[in-house]
Amino acid sequence: MIKILFICHGNICRSPMAEFVMKDLVKKAGLTEQFEIASAATSTEEIGNPVYPPARRKLAEHGISCQGHAARQLQRADYNRYNLLIGMDRANLRNMLRICGGDPEGKLSLLMDHTPKGSEVADPWYTGDFEATWQDVSLGCQALLDTLVSQPGV
Protein backbone atom coordinates (compact mmCIF):
# COMPACT_ATOMS: atom_id res chain seq x y z
CA MET A 1 0.00 0.00 0.00
CA ILE A 2 1.22 3.49 -0.89
CA LYS A 3 0.63 5.95 1.93
CA ILE A 4 0.69 9.64 1.03
CA LEU A 5 0.41 12.62 3.38
CA PHE A 6 -0.10 16.06 1.81
CA ILE A 7 1.04 18.98 3.95
CA CYS A 8 0.52 22.75 3.99
CA HIS A 9 0.57 25.47 6.63
CA GLY A 10 -2.96 25.17 8.07
CA ASN A 11 -4.47 22.04 6.48
CA ILE A 12 -7.61 23.91 5.40
CA CYS A 13 -6.84 24.88 1.76
CA ARG A 14 -4.03 23.36 -0.30
CA SER A 15 -3.24 20.08 1.45
CA PRO A 16 -6.87 18.98 1.83
CA MET A 17 -7.48 19.96 -1.80
CA ALA A 18 -4.56 17.69 -2.75
CA GLU A 19 -5.84 14.92 -0.45
CA PHE A 20 -9.32 14.87 -1.95
CA VAL A 21 -8.18 15.39 -5.56
CA MET A 22 -5.77 12.47 -5.19
CA LYS A 23 -8.46 10.29 -3.58
CA ASP A 24 -10.74 11.11 -6.52
CA LEU A 25 -8.05 10.28 -9.10
CA VAL A 26 -7.20 7.02 -7.33
CA LYS A 27 -10.88 6.05 -7.14
CA LYS A 28 -11.42 6.77 -10.84
CA ALA A 29 -8.35 4.64 -11.64
CA GLY A 30 -9.77 1.75 -9.60
CA LEU A 31 -6.82 1.82 -7.20
CA THR A 32 -8.48 2.80 -3.92
CA GLU A 33 -7.36 -0.38 -2.14
CA GLN A 34 -3.72 0.34 -2.98
CA PHE A 35 -3.56 3.82 -1.44
CA GLU A 36 -3.96 5.57 1.88
CA ILE A 37 -4.17 9.34 1.46
CA ALA A 38 -4.43 12.04 4.12
CA SER A 39 -3.31 15.59 4.86
CA ALA A 40 -1.88 17.63 7.72
CA ALA A 41 -0.64 21.07 8.76
CA THR A 42 2.74 22.30 9.88
CA SER A 43 1.06 24.81 12.24
CA THR A 44 -1.50 24.53 15.02
CA GLU A 45 -3.61 27.53 13.93
CA GLU A 46 -6.47 25.64 12.28
CA ILE A 47 -6.48 22.32 14.18
CA GLY A 48 -9.96 20.78 14.11
CA ASN A 49 -11.30 23.16 11.44
CA PRO A 50 -12.97 21.94 8.24
CA VAL A 51 -11.79 22.77 4.73
CA TYR A 52 -11.92 26.53 4.13
CA PRO A 53 -15.23 27.38 2.37
CA PRO A 54 -13.77 28.68 -0.94
CA ALA A 55 -11.57 25.56 -1.19
CA ARG A 56 -14.58 23.37 -0.39
CA ARG A 57 -16.58 25.15 -3.12
CA LYS A 58 -13.77 24.69 -5.66
CA LEU A 59 -13.67 20.95 -4.95
CA ALA A 60 -17.48 20.76 -5.18
CA GLU A 61 -17.35 22.45 -8.62
CA HIS A 62 -15.49 19.35 -9.76
CA GLY A 63 -17.77 16.88 -7.99
CA ILE A 64 -15.35 16.20 -5.14
CA SER A 65 -16.54 16.08 -1.53
CA CYS A 66 -14.30 16.87 1.45
CA GLN A 67 -16.88 16.02 4.12
CA GLY A 68 -15.51 15.00 7.48
CA HIS A 69 -12.13 16.71 7.13
CA ALA A 70 -10.70 18.23 10.32
CA ALA A 71 -7.31 19.93 10.21
CA ARG A 72 -4.56 18.19 12.15
CA GLN A 73 -0.89 18.86 12.69
CA LEU A 74 1.95 16.80 11.22
CA GLN A 75 3.59 14.61 13.88
CA ARG A 76 7.08 13.12 13.91
CA ALA A 77 5.52 9.63 13.86
CA ASP A 78 3.94 10.42 10.48
CA TYR A 79 7.37 10.11 8.91
CA ASN A 80 7.39 6.38 9.67
CA ARG A 81 3.70 5.88 8.86
CA TYR A 82 3.72 7.38 5.34
CA ASN A 83 5.77 6.53 2.22
CA LEU A 84 5.52 10.07 0.85
CA LEU A 85 5.11 13.36 2.68
CA ILE A 86 4.37 16.07 0.14
CA GLY A 87 4.44 19.78 0.90
CA MET A 88 2.93 22.62 -1.06
CA ASP A 89 5.74 25.19 -0.75
CA ARG A 90 9.31 25.63 0.49
CA ALA A 91 8.22 27.02 3.86
CA ASN A 92 6.14 23.85 4.37
CA LEU A 93 9.15 21.73 3.43
CA ARG A 94 11.40 23.50 5.96
CA ASN A 95 8.81 22.96 8.70
CA MET A 96 8.29 19.33 7.64
CA LEU A 97 12.04 18.71 7.98
CA ARG A 98 12.00 20.31 11.44
CA ILE A 99 8.95 18.38 12.67
CA CYS A 100 10.11 15.04 11.21
CA GLY A 101 13.68 15.49 12.42
CA GLY A 102 15.14 15.37 8.91
CA ASP A 103 14.52 13.16 5.90
CA PRO A 104 16.91 10.20 6.07
CA GLU A 105 14.75 8.05 3.73
CA GLY A 106 14.07 10.73 1.09
CA LYS A 107 10.30 10.73 1.65
CA LEU A 108 9.77 14.50 1.61
CA SER A 109 9.07 16.49 -1.56
CA LEU A 110 7.02 19.34 -2.97
CA LEU A 111 3.93 18.46 -5.00
CA MET A 112 5.04 20.50 -8.00
CA ASP A 113 8.42 18.71 -8.02
CA HIS A 114 6.47 15.82 -9.56
CA THR A 115 5.57 17.97 -12.58
CA PRO A 116 7.59 19.58 -15.37
CA LYS A 117 6.40 22.95 -13.96
CA GLY A 118 8.37 22.38 -10.74
CA SER A 119 7.29 25.39 -8.68
CA GLU A 120 5.17 25.83 -5.57
CA VAL A 121 1.41 25.36 -5.28
CA ALA A 122 -0.23 28.79 -5.37
CA ASP A 123 -1.42 29.79 -1.89
CA PRO A 124 -5.05 30.97 -2.11
CA TRP A 125 -5.04 32.16 1.50
CA TYR A 126 -3.06 35.19 0.32
CA THR A 127 -4.10 35.46 -3.34
CA GLY A 128 -7.77 34.50 -3.13
CA ASP A 129 -7.22 32.66 -6.43
CA PHE A 130 -8.59 29.19 -5.73
CA GLU A 131 -8.65 28.41 -9.46
CA ALA A 132 -4.85 28.76 -9.70
CA THR A 133 -4.52 26.49 -6.68
CA TRP A 134 -6.93 23.98 -8.25
CA GLN A 135 -4.86 23.96 -11.45
CA ASP A 136 -1.59 23.39 -9.55
CA VAL A 137 -3.06 20.69 -7.30
CA SER A 138 -4.73 18.88 -10.21
CA LEU A 139 -1.54 18.93 -12.28
CA GLY A 140 0.60 17.82 -9.34
CA CYS A 141 -1.67 15.00 -8.22
CA GLN A 142 -2.10 13.61 -11.74
CA ALA A 143 1.66 13.70 -12.33
CA LEU A 144 2.30 12.01 -8.98
CA LEU A 145 -0.26 9.29 -9.68
CA ASP A 146 1.12 8.73 -13.17
CA THR A 147 4.60 8.26 -11.70
CA LEU A 148 3.39 5.92 -8.97
CA VAL A 149 1.32 3.68 -11.26
CA SER A 150 4.23 3.32 -13.67
CA GLN A 151 6.23 1.63 -10.91
CA PRO A 152 6.17 -2.17 -10.63
CA GLY A 153 3.65 -3.59 -8.17
CA VAL A 154 1.07 -0.80 -8.37
- What's the pLDDT tens digit per position in 56-106? 999 999 999 999 999 999 999 999 999 999 999 999 999 999 999 999 999
Q: Which domains does the chain have, with CATH numbers?
A: 2-149 (3.40.50.2300)
Active site residues: 8, 14, 123
Angle at 139 between CA 48 and CA 119, to 5 degrees: 85
Task: Give the residue-averaged pLDDT of 40-56.
Answer: 97
Asked whether residue 123 carries a pLDDT value surpassing 70, the answer given is yes
pLDDT at 118: 83
Between the alpha carbon of residue 42 and those of residues 99, 138, 142, the distances in Å are 8, 22, 24
Strand partners, 109: 86
pLDDT at 14: 98
Instruction: Tell me if 25 sits within 8 A of 141, measured CB to CB.
Output: yes
13 pLDDT higher than 70? yes
CB burial string 127-147: b at 16+ within 10 A, e below:
eeebeebbebbbbbbebbbee
